[in-house]
Structure 1
């Protein structure tokens, strides 16, 4: 029994090495080139060790979502600190999320979604992983919008803000227009303020 804890700790460390390698590959190379062989190469580990922790390619990729969410959470905290000078809480929240949504970890997560469209196994795995990550993501967003969570239109503001920024992130992959994006973000902040002052729809 004395060897059980070290073996468990070693196994956890090995699993984390695979995850770190997979996340790094996703960010640097994209989904198509993040193969099990590439992750194995980056870790310098055996094929058997990789398959022990992640029996399939889909299982490996879906497992990276929790790590990507963790990194995105860290990006939110850094952005929140950088935006602390903005007095308007709605503007501060939107701009914080906008800053996070162009980070490599967030774009890698969206790329996984796109790849899952035509891969049933990956789609099932990603859906499951995203369900598990949703609670943490909701907590982070609610914390950013804490000043307006009691507004009757808050649920709409939250959902639409996430959808807007997700779309902005995807468009930035092909076309980079920072000034145009900043204008759109400013217009979205205006729209949110207007929505918050509108009677809630029944």
Structure 2
């Protein structure tokens, strides 16, 4: 109500009631603000983080009118009911998300095996394929949230969706490569790597 927002990014919303509350607030106060919906629903371990009611609420309340939805492969499967094990599956899931009312869908391929990670971006105006060599590391905690946040920050600056995705991916890849290797499990990426180079 005071300074407003140039972009909004959602993260994990653990219940249908919470999803509905966020959707209501967005409708009342931020109808024209670009929304990046990061449907955090499936852990790296494969465990489901939200129940079926929350998934249904995300599908019906947050996906429509989103500037961009950013599911990983398991989340895209949950949202769309489409198998996402190949690039073709990623494309089908992205198309299904557009049919649900999203303006753009980035179906990420990090959970799909192989030496090359492929992310599929579809918007109402076209399709873009992004590829990068898989980085062998345990410093992958927060990769999805980091990517969605970086995309939102770029959208807030007026960058197009495809360019935002490309630049955010570059930022994330460097954050993974330059991670400090903290902890014995899945450690964090290095968000401040840009500052190290100044």
Same fold (TM over 0.5): no
Normalising by the residue count of structure 2, what TM-score does the alignment of the two structures yield?
0.29
Higher strand share: 2
Higher helix share: 1
Greater Rg by CA: 1
